[in-house]
Amino acid sequence: MAWSKIKQQLESFLSPALNGRVEYSATGYRYLPDKPGICYIMVDKKNVLNMNDIHNSMKWYQTDLEIKNDPAIQLPINNEEIEEVRKDTKGLVPEHRLEVIARSRKITEHAKELLSAQSSLSKSNFIVVANTFLSSPIEESIESKDIVLNILALVDKRVGKKRILNMSEKMKAKHPIVQYFYELRS
């Protein structure tokens, strides 16, 4: 499908509150097929997410240590995770350390997921992701680990205010750019 049609469809799905504020753009180079082009999302005429450049205005993590030390990331720990640590350590670890170990494990796993999502974003073809979004149910895009799919779902009018408010806990574990679009919508 041509970019103009994809852009038109994406903008038709924008939430009424964001209509005119959020814009999509993708450029290609006709005579340079090996050059990927530039894809970006603008909010209020400001380039917020440039998909082919990690040096934009949003926070990008360079290492898993940055993610682990980011106070904005709050991952809740449940009893099953603590029990798993207790079982793995065979009861040799004091009770007050079990939660610390469980949190550390969860943050490490989360850091790997975020770095993987960032690296795929910098290589992604926005048009392919947009086609995937347009051809799949909105629930899949919301639950996806793909940052762009999450963003497209958050600005979609099919995701109501109540559903947005119910996602607040999940959003704490998402990439800062996804959190930015969540705040924009909430």
| Domain residue limits, the chain | 64-115
CA 19 to centroid of chain Cα atoms: 21
CA gap 184, 99 in Å, rounded: 33
CA gap 22, 43 in Å, rounded: 5
The confidence score (pLDDT) of residue 56 equals: 47
CA gap 179, 157 in Å, rounded: 17
CB count, 10 Å around CB of 16? Answer: 7
Express as a percent the part of the chain with pLDDT over 70: 82
Per-residue pLDDT at 44 exceeds 60? yes
> pTM of the full predicted structure?
0.67
Q: Which of 151, 185, 147 is nearest to 166 (CA)?
A: 185
pLDDT, one tens digit per residue, over 120-162 is 565 456 778 888 999 999 999 999 888 889 999 999 999 998 9
